[in-house]
Amino acid sequence: MGSINITDKAINKIQEVLKDQNMKYFRIRVKGGGCSGFQYVFKSENVINETKDHVFNFKDLQILIDKNSMTFINESELDYKDELIGSSFSISNPNAKNSCGCGTSFSV
């Protein structure tokens, strides 16, 4: 199935987002695009696709990652960074050979 780590800071922010949007799950997806070939997509949802999704439990939080995306982000870490230039989720991905400066796009 694979694994992913999520920092406490990211968990707290995801819980806040889900509560504000009245949603149950947080999805992490990889799609083609961005300046390096692939990019991360973060989305709040209320539905699990039981045939395609891996479900990861962190405290009271459920993270959904589809099987195709899992091949790209297995063993990655999701963090939430609050910096002067802005706040955003960030993934540290050991599978990425290159990534862009903003950290939202990568290549394998």
Confirm whether 17 is domain-assigned: yes
Confirm whether 108 is domain-assigned: no
State the average pLDDT over residues 61-66: 96
Tell me the CATH number at 31.
2.60.300.12
Q: For residues 12 and 99, what is the distance between their CA atoms, to the nearest angstrom?
A: 26
Predicted TM-score of the model (pTM):
0.85
Task: Return the SS3 of 46.
Answer: coil
Give the domain extent around 83. Answer: 4-96
Confirm whether 56 is domain-assigned: yes
CB 65 within 8 A of CB 4: yes
Confirm whether 71 is domain-assigned: yes
Is residue 105 predicted with pLDDT exceeding 90? no
Other C-beta atoms closer than 10 Å to the C-beta of 85 total 7
Q: How distant, in Å, are the alpha carbons of 9, 24, 25, 28, 77 from that of 47? A: 24, 8, 8, 14, 23
pLDDT digits (tens, 9 = 90+) for 11-45: 999 999 999 999 999 999 998 876 667 888 999 99
